[in-house]
Structure 1
């Protein structure tokens, strides 16, 4: 029936057209996007938010001749899954690149929130993931660091570059010890701490190769902790292969070789305990001579006022550095924050301050939070090797 065939006086109902309000459609679309984002955040374990990680190979010959020294050899998603196994770290470099020939390098990439600009191809410097073949030799218990034929020290080869723009600004170095002992604690330290923080590995941890690779990939400098004799030894025992004042130099040398073979791409060593050992020049001097001959630095955590390591190290021309204070001597939020404020004051007064802390959850959390605003307060965070030139 239409208007022509319908009886007079009977109106034909018009077909209604349903109209969707534009505002309702917009709200529905936004809700869908938010729901997808929430589901992704809950279901995907990716603390970096999928941030890509790029591996770059450094051509030393090209660098010397002024050519293009940096080439990308692999890009990784940054998700937790591809970093949970050592095989995944090795898989970061495709066949025929740096990983295959042992010359596995990355350009230093700053952690999110560190406040530092990413390095460009012009100023990036090689940061080996593992020990370089030319800087190791076979020892009694495994590979030992050595100075290369061209005079390159492990201290130089594995150092994190400090941008020249840092200049004369106040600087602070933070060293975190006990890395590698706790799997969860180590993972949290790597997740939270910026790349400028130096990580000290205990020699007794499991999966040290894996954690070393992850730490180097994030741009950290590494130290190896040496168990040294405390005053109350053996009631307080730092662990197997502890260097003792009662042992002959040859015996301590053998123990030192075992300890140094536990890690690869590290710039030096530091004490774990050791108040008695570091107070004895006859025990300290052979150790520091060995470290100098192998191109490593020695870091003193500042826990013992009797330590002679810095004094003897300077006399022997061994690269040495020391902590001005222990940040978490009292491991509470308030005490750690107070010590960090004290570090800032020292840095402004002297130009440089160095702090040491253990990888306790409270220490890592407070230090990570503190570093986020450090640059805005006019202070630069630097690795431990930067303290050698500043003193």
Structure 2
């Protein structure tokens, strides 16, 4: 009897130890990472492309290397996003609140043509534009028609973009943490740690960074260490599935965007 009990206890201990070393799927906090403002600087773009894991590359349509980078990212199996300029951003693709829908449509078509293989889009700037309910509702319906996803960069607390996406069930996400509003290496490391802590607290976190040299240096050093910290780094499609289009606590209440 004692031998049987000892074997049972050893078995339970072994299973517990195995689970600690290889937790079941879904046990780890999850991070998704997007790098914005790409297509301007080939050496930095190549560093982003070389980051390990499922980083998403968000490419500005009015940059000289947009098409080249989008094609390279697609060949490398990376997720490509269109980084659509929105007011107060300027340029030939930028959306502005007073524009008629036909002009917004034409600019969206041209921007998607400039960034081939885009799986969806997120806003570049857009603090004024993303507060406009009618064009945001039109955009979400258009993205759904094209089978594209949306990521709200949340450049303003007044954004209604994610709320409009949620209303029609468009596959979408909202950014939780900007890594490099302060691009110093110490600040970027702190923001990455804050993102990890947020993921531990709420189960997941969506991070956006930019191709600053110090941001890339921190990511090159720290991303390979995420697994040993008990963090699953996942692609944005899987993050959409994990979140089920629900708002996090900072963005809404009861899963509904404010």
| Fold match by TM threshold 0.5 | yes
Structure 2 residue 222 is matched with structure 1 residue 222: no
Structure 2 residue 162 is matched with structure 1 residue 310: yes
1:291 maps to which residue? 143
C-alpha contact 2:36 2:209 (8 A) present in aligned 1: yes
2:196 maps to which residue? 344
1 CA distance for matches of 2:41 and 2:121? 20
1:168 maps to which residue? 27
2:103 maps to which residue? 251
- Residue 121 of structure 2 is aligned with which of 269, 277, 287? 269
User: What is the TM-score when the length of structure 1 is the normalising length?
Assistant: 0.54
2 CA distance for matches of 1:325 and 1:356? 6
1:211 maps to which residue? 69
Tell me, which stretches of 5 or more residues in structure 1 are unaligned? Answer: 1-164, 231-236
Name which structure has the greater RCO, CA cutoff 8 Å, separation 6+. 2
Over aligned residue pairs, what C-alpha RMSD do you find? 1.5
C-alpha contact 2:179 2:208 (8 A) present in aligned 1: yes
Post-superposition shift, 1:282?
1.6
2:232 maps to which residue? 380
After the TM superposition, which residues 193-204 of structure 1 pair with which residues of structure 2 at under 5 Å, given as runs? 193-204=51-62
- Residue 300 of structure 1 is aligned with which of 146, 152, 158? 152
C-alpha contact 1:195 1:219 (8 A) present in aligned 2: no
| DSSP-derived class of the 2:196 partner | helix
Post-superposition shift, 1:305?
1.2
Post-superposition shift, 1:364?
1.3
Post-superposition shift, 1:166?
4.3
Tell me the number of residue pairs that the alignment of Structure 1 and Structure 2 aligns. Answer: 220
Larger radius of gyration: 1
1 CA distance for matches of 2:114 and 2:192? 31
Tell me, which stretches of 5 or more residues in structure 2 are unaligned? Answer: 1-23, 244-258
